Amino acid sequence: MYGNSLHLSALYNFTQQLSAGVGVGADRYENPGYNTFPLFASLHYAPFKKHTDLYAFTNIGYAVIGKQETYTGMMWDLGIGYKKMFRSHFGLNFQFGYNLKQFRNINSYVTSDIMQRENSTRSSLSLGIGVIF
């Protein structure tokens, strides 16, 4: 199973080392095909005061739309990231992490005329690149 995600986050810097905020995403997973639209809370922490470009992050949230080929369920990310700033309000963000995704109420056919609903959980490693502005 592989997939693609597009996430938009708004973070507030409480200190040089601690940032938190909220985000929204659009995720597509293949083999089998699942779509999710999560809302999530995000936390970034830079453990080294002299190297605040390197940070640990976590995101936790819930996919809220459950219609047709989109599914609801919990999501959780945990990983490390690196920020490279080119100007005060422009830079690139690189992330590597672990992703846990739950898919709820998946249609599963027992026979051609009997359908039941199942839940599924997906664990994966993720690579990410983003734009900071």
Sequence letter at residue 27: D
d(CA 55, CA 19): 10
* 82 pLDDT tier (thresholds 50, 70, 90): very high
d(CA 84, CA 86): 7
Location of structure tokens 């905020």 = 21
Q: Provide the whole-model pTM.
A: 0.84
Number of structural domains (the chain) is 1
Task: Give per-residue pLDDT as tens, 95-125.
Answer: 999 999 888 766 666 666 666 667 778 888 9
Task: Give per-residue pLDDT as tens, 28-72.
Answer: 888 777 888 999 999 999 999 999 999 999 999 999 887 777 778
Higher-pLDDT residue of 84, 123: 84
> Which residues form the domain of 85?
2-132
